[in-house]
Amino acid sequence: MIAYWLLILIPAWGALAAVNRYRWSGPIALAIWLLLTVMIGLRYEVGGDWEIYLENMFRYQGLNIEQVVEMVLRRDPAYEFFSWMSLYLGFGIYGVNVICAGIFSFGLVLFCMAQPRPWLALCLAIPYLVIVVAMGYTRQSVAIGLMMPGFLALARGKLKQFVIWVILAAAFQQTTVLTLAFLLPALPGRTLLVRLTRLLVMSVVTFVLYQTFLSARVDTFIQGYIISQQMQSEGAAIRVAMNALPSVVFLIWGRRLNLPTEEYRVWFGITLLAIACVVGLWVVPSTTVVDRIALYAIPIQLFVGSRLADLRLLSLSAADLIVLTVVLAIMVQFIWLFFAKTAFAWLPYQNILLIN
């Protein structure tokens, strides 16, 4: 457990030491990426799905190349390819985990560097996004890691770059194609014809991606998650609330940030997703479905949290708001580690570099 506390106390100290806006230098960003990659990628028996990922990898033992290709293309092709390659090269689960951890950490570091207070953004990411998601749900974490620079590109009006990030993320987690919906509020153009043209192009792209990545799994997804099992995720309401709280703050006070119109529209769309997930908990039979979709709204926590000091809430100073934000992040980690029913799967933290 000490490792988890060191992981959050480092950015917490950085956030408190740099109350004003601060930028990471290249060496600092590289050091953070390396630390996250090692802690996430070389973990040992950490995470609720550890055994599931092991079983998934060992399915490739004894298969010929045609069988391997068939299995790789069946679902989440990029993850499956790296999983097979890691097994083939003798690196086991650690090879694919390091690759995925490196990609996730790259996206997270890029996203934090784009925020006005990167240490604070990283501090907010540690309790859930890093420890729970990245160390527990590998494929989803890579998809989120790739979507974070995608959101940055979309906020800057770079629609083609956003689509590329979505394609890359969907190769690791196919449901990521759903994030193409965020294009709608970001579509530029003043005339109705321009908007309809761009919407038509995006609809075609969405259809192609759907057919490529998702269509073969929709029936299984609906049957498994909604109709048959009505799967429930422990703590889904709390995790959805973690997105909803900063989303409400953004909806009420977001105009004070003076964001460019395109950027405001993107984050407004993400806040709507977070709020929709709250409603979804009441109307969708499976909270697991809502929980998984809500993962793509997690960046709103980092975006709003790193700017909370600029909103001048309750007449508090920037320093006071930063302290409160850091304390909140530490409280979230404390509550999860000591009271979450699934936390046992993450305890104790073990790393192969520390195992004799």
Whether residue 340 is contained in a domain is answered as yes
Q: For 122-126, 143-147, 235-239, which range has the lowest pLDDT when averaged over its residues?
A: 235-239
| Res 227: pLDDT | 47
**Which residues, including other chains, have CB under 8 Å from residue 33's CB and lie 6 or more apart?**
102, 105, 106, 109
> Could you give the count of Cα atoms lying within 13 Å of 313 in the half-sphere of its Cβ?
20
Model confidence at 87: pLDDT above 50: yes
Is the model's pLDDT at 230 over the cut of 60?
Answer: no
When pLDDT is cut at 50, 70 and 90, the band that residue 238 belongs to is confident
194 domain residue, yes or no: yes
- What does pLDDT average to over the chain? 86
| Greatest CA separation for the chain | 66
Residue recorded with tokens 């560097």 = 113
Q: What is the mean pLDDT of residues 119-136?
A: 96
pLDDT over threshold 90, residue 17: no
- pLDDT, mean of residues 96-109: 98
Mean pLDDT value across residues 330-352? 94
- Reported as a single tens digit per residue, the pLDDT across 186-207 is 666 666 666 676 677 667 666 7
SS3 44: coil
Task: Give yes or no for residue 176 having a pLDDT over 90.
Answer: no
96 has pLDDT over 50 = yes
Does 88 fall in a domain? yes
Lowest mean pLDDT, pick from 15-24, 60-69, 344-353: 15-24
The whole-number pLDDT of residue 220 equals 54
Q: Is the pLDDT of residue 222 over 90?
A: no
pLDDT at 231: 47
**Does the pLDDT value for residue 151 go beyond 90?**
yes
Percent of the chain at pLDDT > 90 equals: 57
Mean pLDDT value across residues 28-41: 97
Q: Where residue 119 falls among pLDDT bands split at 50, 70, 90?
A: very high
What's the average model confidence in pLDDT over 28-42?
97
Radius of gyration over every alpha carbon of the chain, rounded to an integer in angstroms? 20
DSSP codes of every residue in 104-149: HHHHHHHHHHTSSSHHHHHHHHIIIIIIIIITT-HHHHHHHHHHHH
Q: Which residues pair with 351 in a beta bridge?
A: 43
pLDDT at 346: 96
In a domain, 352, yes or no: no
b/e code 10-38 from CB counts within 10 Å (16+ = b): bbbebbbebbeeeebeeeebeebbeebbb
Q: Which domain holds residue 205?
A: 2-346
Would you place residue 355 in the very low, low, confident or very high pLDDT band (cuts 50, 70, 90)?
confident
| Per-residue pLDDT at 333 exceeds 60 | yes
- The span from the CA of 132 to the CA of 140, in Å, is 11
Model confidence pLDDT, tens digit, residues 63-85? 889 989 988 888 789 999 999 99
Measured distance between the N- and C-terminal CA atoms of the chain, rounded to whole angstroms: 19
Amino acid making up residue 241: A
> What does the pLDDT read at residue 204?
66
Backbone angles phi, psi at 306, to 5 degrees: -75, -10
**Position 57 in a domain:** yes
In-domain check, residue 15: yes
What pLDDT is recorded for position 228? 45
Q: Is residue 355 part of a domain?
A: no
Task: State the total domains in the chain.
Answer: 1
Q: What percent of the chain has pLDDT over 70?
A: 85
Is residue 19 domain-resident? yes
What is the average per-residue pLDDT within 163-188? 82
Residue 138 has pLDDT above 60, yes or no: yes
Contact 144, 298 (CB under 8 A): yes
pLDDT score, position 226: 45
Burial of residue 134, with CB atoms counted within 10 A of its CB: 0-12 exposed, 13-18 middle, 19 or more buried: buried
Name the pTM for this structure.
0.89
Q: In this predicted structure, what is the pLDDT of residue 219? A: 54
**pLDDT for 283:** 77
